[in-house]
Amino acid sequence: MERYVVRNIERPDKTIIEDFSKLDVSTVYEAQGKIGLVSHELKTVRQGNMICGPAVTVTCFAGDNLMIHAAIEVCKPGDVLVITTIGESTTGMIGELIINALMKRGVQGVVSEAGIRDASRIRECGFPVWSRAIHSQGSTKSRGGWVNAPTVCGGASVNPGDLVMADDDGVVFVKKEDLKFALESSNRRMSKEEDTKARIERGELSLDFYSLRGILEKENVVYYESEEARASKK
């Protein structure tokens, strides 16, 4: 099987990226039809970070980070490095030195199916990372793989140049061909949420404005004025 590096990829327009940057992962995931969400096992290393940018994809063999080094060369400012592994891995496949190199290239952040190390120093520099584990075990650098090939990360498919969004709630991918639909749907959802916040502020109950009382009745949920009243029905 051919192993390769694609140097140049199509990236979303900067205006689109800026518009998505005003949103959050949960909103986009819900708005695009509850797809593209990465496994909860990939967690942020430092709370409070948010990234939004095109994916540069890397597929490595578990425990070997050769292709991550190859990917650094093709990254451009604003990119997000998405690392997947053939075989499950918690090895610390990136650490302080790779992070420094990525920052030098202007990379926004990393989403990795594998592990990281040098966690405290990564937190100190503020570089955004979402990973499966923090583990001191080091990597080899001897197995070829793929840079900018279609792949699957954390159970979600991602192609080079797809949009990556990540925040404290998780990571979501948006396909290049779905960007317009996902953005419009997300903005509609945000507008609806603003209306819902206003209704809550007015004292309205979610049971009413979501029309949930009928579902409670259908599910045979019975109301009692007190525990004593409920006990007397037994």
Asked if the model's pLDDT at residue 234 lies above 80, the reply is no
98 is in an annotated binding site: yes
Asked if the model's pLDDT at residue 198 lies above 80, the reply is yes
Mean pLDDT value of segment 180-196: 95
Mean pLDDT value of segment 19-36: 98
**96-104 and 66-74 helices, crossing angle to 10°:** 20
117 is in an annotated binding site: yes
At residue 139, the pLDDT reads 93
- In angstroms, the CA 94 to CA 170 distance is 19
Task: Name the average pLDDT for the chain.
Answer: 96
| DSSP H helix total and E strand total for the chain | 9, 12
Taking the mean position of all CA atoms in its chain, how far away is CA 159?
14
SS (H, E, C) 196-233: HHHHHHCCCCHHHHCCCHHHHHHCCCCCCCCHHHHHHC
Q: Please tell me the pTM assigned to this model.
A: 0.92
Mean pLDDT value of segment 155-183: 98
36 is in an annotated binding site: no
Mean pLDDT value of segment 56-77: 97
At residue 233, the pLDDT reads 80
Torsion sign, CA atoms 115, 120, 125, 128: positive
Mean pLDDT value of segment 139-157: 97
95 is in an annotated binding site: yes
